[in-house]
Amino acid sequence: MYNLQWLKIDANLFANRKIQILLKEPDGDTYIRVWIQLLSISLECNKDGKLLIGENKPMSIEYFSKIMGKSYEKMKKIIGKFLELEMIILENEVYKIKNWNEYQSIQTYEKYKEQGTRKIKTTKISWKKEKWKGKKWHYSNVT
């Protein structure tokens, strides 16, 4: 798994049609706050967009309501709207942010991480070569 420390949010977030629909709901600002909070929870879970409590226990609407300080009914309505707009999906009884890896550019992150690892290895090798450059080796037969 990756270990992201940041959450990628598009600069045009409020131009997104789904976000505009959510904002037109009664308490639309709450929908947006819950959405951002779900993205943050997903980032913390580090399981490809899955919303979990602990290692493998799926989050429920009850958990969402407790974590976010909203009534069960309100949270059920909000999660229902996210499902309707296909912002989240229910996969094997686990809520998951749809297209998480695509939106968070996980492939790009992995590519840069790999390049960084290669650069560190190359730097260490050249540092070792410099360290031993010009040193004379003495061999002796010890019997």
Q: What is the distance between the alpha carbons of residues 17 and 134, in angstroms, rounded to a whole number?
A: 66
Is residue 88 within 8 A of residue 95, CB to CB? The reply is yes
> What does the pLDDT look like over 34-59, one tens digit per residue?
999 999 898 888 888 899 998 889 99
Cβ neighbour number for residue 22 with a 10 Å cutoff: 22
Q: What is the DSSP string of 29-46?
A: HHHHHHHHHHHHHHHHHT
What is the reported pLDDT for 1? 46
Q: What stretches in the chain show pLDDT beneath 70?
A: 1-6, 105-143
Q: What is the distance between the alpha carbons of residues 45 and 84, in angstroms, rounded to a whole number?
A: 23
